[in-house]
Amino acid sequence: MRAALHILDEHGLPDLTMRRLASALGVQPSALYWHFPNKQSMLAELSDRIVSRRSPDRTDEEWTARVATEAAALRDALLTYRDGAEVVSSTLAMGLGSTVAHDRLASAIAGGDFDDSTVDQAATAMLHFVLGHVFHEQQRMQYDSLGARPEPADGIEADASTPTTEFSFGIDLLVNGLLFSSQQAIDRS
């Protein structure tokens, strides 16, 4: 997995092949199939390693702060590796890998005393937001490194927001939506 992570960082997901990994390890590609039945299962293991970074344990925080902490820790873990969001997203879309990222978000959201269905749906929505945001962020970083993103037109100021402020705004929006829907449910009863 260390060799696979190194290839991912150096060359990106499209060039992370079983042949390249075998070459980096000095073995025949068929030797890798002893450990992984196919590339997708290797990527699932890679995905699990990417998201396994623990966030600071802050059980004493209010649930809204814990959600923000978990989401930020997941963002940081994804940003640690080139194409990290794409690896994790594609693995989850195939139903492979662990549910640790979803479960950590769900645990934090559950602190708001929501029913199980709401916790699950909110964690899923938040996970999708984090993956999508980081995927977009990593794409921009790659385009910037290649000089492929155009400069703002004359007379148009560059947006003062940063990926971090945009991310925080999105997480706050989702948390506030949960608070609002919770208040609406209380008001109806």
CATH number for the domain spanning 70: value is 1.10.357.10
What single letter denotes the amino acid at residue 119? V
Number of separate domains in the chain = 1
Kindly give the parts of the chain with pLDDT less than 70.
55-59, 148-159, 184-189
Alpha carbon distance 81, 52 (integer Å): 13
Asked if residue 7 belongs to a domain, the reply is: no
Asked if residue 21 belongs to a domain, the reply is: no
Handedness of CA 74, 77, 83, 87 (dihedral sign): negative
Supply the range of the domain harboring residue 158: 54-188
Asked if residue 25 belongs to a domain, the reply is: no
Asked if residue 33 belongs to a domain, the reply is: no
159's CB contacts (< 8 A; 6+ apart) are none
pTM: 0.85
Asked if residue 171 belongs to a domain, the reply is: yes
Residue count (the chain): 189
Asked if residue 131 belongs to a domain, the reply is: yes
Alpha carbon distance 42, 32 (integer Å): 9
Asked if residue 11 belongs to a domain, the reply is: no
pLDDT at residue number 143: 76
Asked if residue 142 belongs to a domain, the reply is: yes
